[in-house]
């Protein structure tokens, strides 16, 4: 076997290993929700999901199947959800195809999870979210990214400054500030030590993912505390 062929095989093996490792990417969001971003649904999905799940103390799991595909293997990934009864939200869009679509349909039919996604997605989402494919691709890669969703005007700039930035609507008041306000209002005559303001946590800007995280955290808050 010549050196060129050996070099090609070695490079192919490295690329294959990297692709397998990157098939499912796990992100812990808001400290309690695991988002598993799936690129390709294969027979190894159950093991990949198990590896991505780093903790048992979770509010829920977001299975992100947007832009995902895979060979027609309807059984792929089913064993993981048969043994893990964690609350589930499934994200889909118009570019969810093949085995990814089959998995979403099967999980939804079994009552295992709620589906959130674009109106044209299959299965039809329980909660529809309309986002352009290009914007959704950016937000899937970086859910904290602030992007303009206004049409371009003169010079290529947005005609109206409209973004997906939700920071203006989030209350970031620290506990120290609340204590100082009570003192000022005469509710407490103690002089609390000055405490630096806690930096505001990042806000998820991806609308579909934001809805999924909020839903799972709301459901978790309704459950009795675990021992």
What would the mean pLDDT of 13-18 be, rounded to a whole number?
Answer: 34
Rounded distance between C-alpha atoms, residue 78 and residue 44, angstroms: 10
- Chain position carrying tokens 């992007």: 147
CATH number assigned to the domain with residue range 21-160+203-221, chosen from the 4 options 1.10.3470, 3.40.50, 2.40.10, 3.90.226: 3.90.226
Does residue 74 surpass a pLDDT of 90?
no
Can you give the residue ranges of every domain in the chain? 21-160+203-221, 167-202
Q: Which H or E run includes 46?
A: helix 45-52
Distance between alpha carbon 22 and the CA centroid of its chain, in Å?
Answer: 16
* Closest by CA position to 149, among listed 163, 165, 166: 163
pLDDT of residue 19: 43
What would the mean pLDDT of 71-96 be, rounded to a whole number?
Answer: 83
Beta strands at 24-29 and 33-38: parallel, antiparallel or unpaired: antiparallel
Please state, in angstroms and as integers, the Cα–Cα distance from residue 38 to each residue in 50, 71, 179, following that order: 13, 14, 45
Rounded distance between C-alpha atoms, residue 180 and residue 186, angstroms: 10
pLDDT one-digit tens code per residue, 129-174:
999 999 999 999 999 998 865 555 545 444 444 455 555 555 545 5
pLDDT one-digit tens code per residue, 179-216:
556 656 555 555 555 556 667 778 999 999 999 999 99
Read off the pTM.
Answer: 0.70
Does residue 123 surpass a pLDDT of 90?
yes
Backbone torsions φ then ψ of 148, nearest 5 degrees: -85, 135
What are the strands, taking DSSP E only, across 59-178? 60-64, 88-92, 114-117, 127-128
């Amino acid at each position: 076997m010549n050196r060129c062929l050996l070099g090609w095989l070695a490079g192919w093996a490295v690329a294959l290993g990297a692709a397998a490792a990157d098939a499912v990417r796990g992100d812990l969001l808001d400290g309690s929700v695991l988002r598993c971003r799936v690129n390709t649904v294969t027979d190894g999905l159950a093991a990949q999901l198990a590896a991505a799940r780093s903790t048992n103390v979770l509010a829920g799991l977001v299975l992100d199947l947007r832009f995902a595909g895979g060979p027609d293997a309807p059984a792929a990934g089913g064993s993981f959800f048969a043994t893990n009864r964690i609350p589930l939200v499934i994200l889909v869009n118009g570019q969810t195809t093949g085995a990814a679509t089959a998995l979403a349909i099967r999980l939804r039919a079994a009552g295992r999870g709620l589906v959130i996604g674009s109106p044209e997605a299959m299965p039809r989402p329980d909660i529809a979210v309309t986002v352009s494919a290009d914007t959704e691709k950016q937000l899937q890669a970086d859910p904290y990214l602030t992007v303009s969703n206004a049409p371009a005007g003169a010079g290529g700039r947005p005609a109206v400054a409209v973004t997906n930035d939700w920071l203006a609507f989030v209350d970031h008041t620290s506990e120290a500030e609340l204590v100082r306000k009570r003192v000022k209002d005469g509710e407490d005559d103690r002089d609390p030590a000055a405490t630096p303001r806690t930096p505001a946590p990042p806000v998820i800007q991806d609308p579909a993912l934001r809805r999924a995280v909020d839903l799972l955290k709301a459901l978790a808050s309704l459950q009795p505390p675990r021992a």
